[in-house]
Chains A and B, each alone.
Chain A
Amino acid sequence: MLELRNVNAAYGNIQVLHDINLEIHTGEIITLIGANGAGKSTTLMAISGIVAVRSGKILFEGASVHKLPPEKLVSMGICQVPEGRHIFPALTVMENLDMGAFLRSDTEGIKKDLEYVFDLFPILADRRNQDGGTLSGGEQQMLAMSRALMARPKLLLLDEPSMGLAPLIIKQIFEIIQKINKEHNTTIFLVEQNANQALHIADRGYVIENGVITISDSAENLLKNQDIQKAYLGI
């Protein structure tokens, strides 16, 4: 479904991604793990068209997409929940969700998806007229994910969904990620520092170090890999 071929990206003169190769198939949950500053978020921003690709290719459903503007990518079904959630603070929960469906005009479909996300996160339905900025961290993460779902994504990019949340909420969020993946057959690309949680729900994983993909394996093998255990799982 999504393929990165020798992707290089840079901020000014500082190259962040070096020849990244990645492949994600329809229906999978793929995780990208790595330390702070390894290039995880940059990889997602490159896929979303925010960070320019210097060389290499990004293919989505067979078509080359790395030169397309971000709004085109959203309309094709690539949606991102960025790190730090980025809720519109002075828009209500409802308006935030409306913005998620910004490019859609099928009123019936939007209504159905709205019911679906309220079903996933009933708390959002209770708070629908409240400003996004007044929600707690966990609720904001739920809203951020729901907003992305309102665009009816084929590929959902999640950047550190567990950041700054209580363990109980993290568990709930990860359960929902699995549920979205199964019920809607939504492909998920999950970037996490919380490697342990991520690998437990993922099919496969990649490890990124200093902008280079160093390991690619099934999640099961990665969990058993001694280097990974030492570096990322704290075992």
Chain B
Amino acid sequence: MDYFIELFFSGLTRGSIYALIALGYTMVYGIIGLINFAHGEIYMIGAFTAFIVATVLSIYGFPLLAIVVIAGVAAAVWSSAYGVTIERLAYRPLRQAPRLAPLISAIGMSIFLQNYVLLAQTSDFIRFPELIPEFAFMEPVAHIVGSSDMVILVTTAIVMIGLTCLIKYTKIGKAMRATAQDKTMAVLVGINVDRVISATFVIGSALAAIGGMLIASHIGQINFYIGFIAGIKAFTAAVLGGIGSIPGAVLGSMILGLTESFATGYVSSDYEDVFAFSLLVLILIFKPSGLLGKAEIQKV
């Protein structure tokens, strides 16, 4: 039973990280209808930024809590800058173009960023400092759920609640929903659509960066390629839940995380991807719009 619970929590941890990334995919898709393939790279850049900042701060002997907060904020800000710049350079000029053009532009951006980090940081795995200590109060349950799992779960939960409130109640959140639903009308009521799109990239990138920092600290190493794998998995999760749907992205991520975790634990870690993608294939066969996605109704 302990083993089951352990797998369950490690699945939730995985799912949380996927969710932090998947939200960026799903929000950008909801608002401009584009699969932002460079999003995984944003996550990777977030992890590297956190690594650099945390390393520098620890040399100067900052306390751990300060390091975590400053590195997290720096990663979020820096990744957001990347996200907004990518949108400006690679997607905005192609907004009126056929849908394939920005998609290819996104893949190009992804390859460019990977190689740029490869050149700057080499392809070696870099040891990531352990940012989350073992808490004393977690001692009794430490054999089932680790402190860093707990921190990841709690952080993700707080971020999700914050995001939900932002989208539901704030002016920018309502403007984001309005823009996603009807761009022409959003312009006609005076919403600056370009600014709303930029805001979406900022939020998505910041979430991915936080995810990047948390998982890097959890696993303990990073390299230029981590964004690709995580990006594909999070994208799968977003499609699983119904792309464009925010609760769908979270649900899809958790299901994917748990599936992988149980497959690893009870079958073999060699088969985790087989299970994850089989699940995706099954859901797409029986519910092509994803678990919580709405089938598009075309009114004539």
Contact = CB atoms under 8 A, between A and B. Distances in A.
A75 interface: yes
Contacts of A48: 188
A91 B174 contact: yes
Contacts of B186: 99
B181 interface: yes
B181 A89 contact: yes
B285 interface: no
B165 to A, nearest CB: 15
A86 interface: yes
Interface in A179-232: none
B170 to A, nearest CB: 11
B132 interface: no
Nearest to A133: B181
A90 interface: yes
Contacts of A50: 184, 187-188
Nearest to A44: B188
Majority secondary structure of chain B interface residues (helix, strand, loop or mixed): helix
A98 interface: yes
Nearest to A70: B187
A82 B184 contact: yes
A48 B181 CA distance: 20
B192 A95 contact: no
Interface in A65-92: 69-71, 74-75, 79-80, 82, 86-91
A103 interface: yes
B40 to A, nearest CB: 29
Q: What band does the interface of chain B fall in when counting residues whose beta carbon is under 8 Å from A?
A: 10 to 19
Majority secondary structure of chain A interface residues (helix, strand, loop or mixed): loop
A93 B98 CA distance: 33
A147 interface: yes
Contacts of B175: 99, 102
A46 interface: no
A147 B189 contact: yes
A34 interface: no
Contacts of B182: 86-89
A174 B152 CA distance: 58
A109 B186 CA distance: 22
Interface string B251-272: 0000000000000000000000
B191 interface: yes
Contacts of B192: 69, 71
B184 A102 contact: no
Nearest to A95: B174
Contacts of A33: none
B189 A74 contact: yes
Interface in A100-128: 100, 102-103
Nearest to B177: A91
Nearest to A144: B185
B86 interface: no
B188 A80 contact: yes
Contacts of B184: 50, 82, 86
A151 interface: yes
Nearest to B181: A88
A5 to B, nearest CB: 23
B249 interface: no
Contacts of B174: 91, 95, 98-99
Interface of B: 171, 174-175, 177-178, 181-182, 184-192
Given A70-B190, A88-B181, 16 more contacts: A50-B187, A50-B188, A71-B187, A71-B190, A71-B192, A79-B189, A82-B185, A86-B184, A88-B177, A88-B178, A89-B181, A91-B177, A91-B178, A98-B174, A102-B190, A151-B190
11 contacts: A71-B187, A71-B192, A86-B182, A87-B182, A88-B182, A99-B175, A99-B178, A99-B191, A102-B190, A151-B189, A151-B190
3 interchain residue pairs of minimum CB distance: A74-B190, A86-B185, A71-B190
